Amino acid sequence: MNKSIKYFLIILISANLFNFWIISEIFYLKEEKVSFLDVGQGDAELIQSLAGNILIDAGPSSKIVTALGEVFPFFDQVIDLFILSHPEKDHFYGMLELLDRYKVRAVMLNNVFHNNSQYQKLLQELYKRNILVIQGFQGIKVSLGENYLQIIYPETMVSSAQNPNDFCLVAYLNLNQNSFLFTGDIGSQQEQKLIPFLEKNKQGIRVLKVAHHGSRFSSSKEFLKAFEPNYAVIEVGKNSYGHPHPEVLERLEQIGAKILRTDLEGTIRLKLDRL
């Protein structure tokens, strides 16, 4: 083959691959979706918006890396904001490995005093990598263009090593005029505090990340009635706690919510178009 023709073909193929990459990225960026990642008995939710990627919790192990790899396109290796609902193993251990695989721009925490050694190791890593740390509490709002994510609980930053479940960061996401509620591991007492907000903010299709993997001490009738979820996602794996509890499943069925479970369906991806 003539050398000039050979070089021309190489350039042409390279240009086509580059164009394909650009076109793929454009099409990808047009999609806004929320994925509830299969990380076993733990939580991890990925919000992909036109404004950037938000990861809420990172599960109990390195399984988060595999789960994200199945959702992210090859050219996207950035987490613009990581929100840790609370410092318990099944919500943050995966973050320690994630820091070596993805660029993390900022982290939102509600507690820097918890004495778990792995959690303190995570804080040290954030400091060493010069990652911005944001204090999370009620009222913090993250703008996502026409959409937004708002922290609606707790009222203040946690100042001592109290029960982490009682002070989970709870996030409300308005995405294309639909409502997503990320509840961490809160119990029924904390749910009661959210009811006034939820009764005023029931937009479009409503998706609930069921609290505490379907624990019987969460998802009270009053709380479910206030939000009236169309979809209820339970992030759960093999466990000895009886999650999800039959009573919770029954309460969700009574309000007509479609129940989705990561232990049965794997990673759950929801793409809700504008209404």
- Mean of per-residue pLDDT scores for the chain: 88
pLDDT greater than 80 at residue 198:
yes
pLDDT greater than 80 at residue 31:
no
For residue 165, give the DSSP letter: G
Q: Which residue has the tokens 């997503």?
A: 180
207-262: per-residue pLDDT in tens? Answer: 999 999 999 999 999 999 999 999 999 999 999 999 999 999 999 999 999 999 99
Coil, helix or strand at residue 81: strand
Which secondary-structure segment (H or E) carries 65? Answer: helix 63-71
User: What sign does the CA torsion over 76, 82, 83, 84 have?
Assistant: positive
Delimit the domains of the chain by residue range. 1-30, 31-270
Share of the chain above pLDDT 70, in %: 87
pLDDT given at position 241: 93
Rounded Cα gap, residues 265 and 232, in angstroms: 13
pLDDT given at position 5: 45
Indicate the pairing of strand 178-182 with strand 170-175.
Answer: antiparallel
Strands (E), 136-201: 141-144, 147-153, 170-175, 178-182
Rounded Cα gap, residues 264 and 235, in angstroms: 10
Q: What's the CATH number for 31-270?
A: 3.60.15.10
Q: How many CB atoms lie within 10 A of CB 53?
A: 21
Q: Which residues pair with 181 in a beta bridge?
A: 172, 208
92-112: per-residue pLDDT in tens? Answer: 999 999 999 999 999 999 988
Which secondary-structure segment (H or E) carries 79? Answer: strand 78-79
Which secondary-structure segment (H or E) carries 52? Answer: strand 52-56
Q: Which residue has the tokens 């129940």?
A: 259
pLDDT given at position 263: 96
pLDDT given at position 14: 39
Rounded Cα gap, residues 55 and 47, in angstroms: 6
| pTM as predicted | 0.88
CA dist 223 to 101, 178, 185, 242, Å?
38, 18, 14, 21
Q: What is the DSSP string of 95-111?
A: HHHHHHHSEE-EEEES-
144-172: per-residue pLDDT in tens? Answer: 999 999 999 999 877 665 788 899 999 99
Residue of 58, 162, 60 lying closest to 110 (CA atoms): 162
Share of the chain above pLDDT 90, in %: 76
48-75: per-residue pLDDT in tens? Answer: 999 999 999 999 999 999 999 999 988 8
Rounded Cα gap, residues 262 and 275, in angstroms: 27
Coil, helix or strand at residue 246: helix
